[in-house]
Amino acid sequence: MTLKKMVDGIVEQGARFCDVRKERWDVNHLVLKDGNVEQMVSGEEEGAMVRVLYGNGWGCVGTSALERLEDAARRALAMAKQNHTFKEEKTGVATINPVTCKEYMPAKIRFEDVSFQEKVSFMKEIHNFLERDWVKSADIIYRDSVVKKEIVNSEGTHVMMEIPRLVTYMVVTGKENGSIQQASEGGGGTGGYELREGAYEKVDTVLDRLRDLLGADTAPSGRLPLIMDHHLTGVFVHEAFGHAAEGDLVTSGNSCLARKLGEMVAGENVTITDDPTFPGYGSFPYDDEGTKARPRILVDGGKLNDYILDRESAWKLGLEPNGGARAEDFRVKPIVRMSNTLMKAGDMKLEELLEDVHRGIYARSSSGGQVSPAQGTFQFNAQVAYLVEKGEITKPLRDVSFSGFTLDTLRKITGITDEMKTGVGHCGKGQSAPVSDGGPQVLISEVTVGGR
Ligand SMILES: [Zn+2]
């Protein structure tokens, strides 16, 4: 039976909607610890998820037993019928244009054409570049994956796509004069083995940062002006703002941006987009419901312009779906996710941002933190920071964290540089999703700075 016949058969039995997403994954994962291969995993996996909407109830069944897919579809229908009996809240899927297409994202060098040996040599080379007498340990993580997806729904959509991705991380620990510090950098994107080249550029960045950390002082605390580097700007737009712009959080009362469309939520100088068509680690041609990817201008000159929406959250809000549905793999249903989240560059130079700071902080790169999209609050830790006095960077600082209200902070952005950079990451929201985020360097006129 074709996938199309299967989903149509479910609708003939009374379902409002049915889709199936078939996936095949080829993944290589390598970990090099202090120059030795600690993990080497190569896996192939296939499976599919069937989703059925019956009345107001969803039934979703994922299986790796593709020969029993029709059985999975029947179970999904039974589950949807069952769920419908409990559900009081009305739901639906907003309309999208049915499409038939094949889209293979390009890889100059395909991962399957590169031996394990060669991948290990690349990692060993990076490790050798990181060696210093003050570097105590260095871990290199490498992962490449190719996913082939086929999405068929009861409305006539048939999307086939292939997405290759590569990511590398280096985590370096240094020790000097009794101080032990750690710095890390990641790189990668959507494409082939050629993307590994980016890792070489990160070696000096991570070593310089570690060097500064080893000689760093503890940070002052209080309300201070703070400059975020590109990486922290990216973390800010993703974590503090982007999650609050996710349609499912908006419709479930868990977002500080609910009912604010069209309102000013930031200064006029701030524009934030989430764009799966931008070349990044979070790029894709169609989302996991078969909706064509397009840029979402979330904030346009300070005004809240759009949310990130899958078909269900779009239905609930009376808006158009914009390609926001992503699933970690075939075992789980797609939920609203970000892709490549970016703040638009401005027209200033870093020196001009610094000139405006009498006494403040220049914070670089992130090492975690926490946010509450519902309350609209954030707290981020910088990997390293620098004290700025009378417009000059005077000394490195460690253990710097800063916190505040997201929307209040977006209104306090008084300087934005003219160049942007992006970083890679894995966003966790019950499921993991590859994402990029980034932007220019940004001066916040006042934020709460504290030690950790
Ligand atoms: Zn996230």
Report the pLDDT averaged over residues 420-440: 97
Distance from residue 128's CA to the centre of ligand 1 (Å):
32
Residue 452 has pLDDT above 80, yes or no: no
Distance CA 415, CA 403 (A): 19
- The string of pLDDT tens digits covering residues 347-366 is 999 999 999 999 999 999 99
- The string of pLDDT tens digits covering residues 160-196 is 999 999 999 999 999 998 999 999 999 999 999 999 9
Distance from residue 228's CA to the centre of ligand 1 (Å):
18
Do the beta carbons of residue 144 and residue 27 sit within 8 Å?
Answer: yes
How many Cβ atoms are within 10 Å of 352's Cβ, its own excluded? 14
Q: Which CATH number fits domain 3-214: 2.60.40.1180, 3.30.2290.10, 3.40.50.300, 3.40.50.1000?
A: 3.30.2290.10
Distance CA 441, CA 346 (A): 9
- The string of pLDDT tens digits covering residues 212-221 is 999 999 989 9
3-state secondary structure of 77: helix
Distance from residue 72's CA to the centre of ligand 1 (Å):
31
Distance CA 395, CA 362 (A): 10
Cα angle at 376 between 237 and 397, to 5 degrees?
A: 60
pTM listed for this prediction: 0.96
Distance from residue 435's CA to the centre of ligand 1 (Å):
8
**Residues in Cβ contact with 296 at an 8 Å cutoff, skipping those fewer than 6 apart:** 273, 274, 275, 306, 307, 308, 322, 323, 324
Q: Percentage of the chain with pLDDT > 90?
A: 98
Domain ranges of the chain: 3-214, 217-451
Distance from residue 261's CA to the centre of ligand 1 (Å):
21
Two tokens at 366? 């992130």
CA dihedral 257, 261, 265, 271 (to 10 degrees): 110
Strand order in the sheet with 272-274: 303-304, 296-300, 272-274, 340-343, 432-439, 421-428
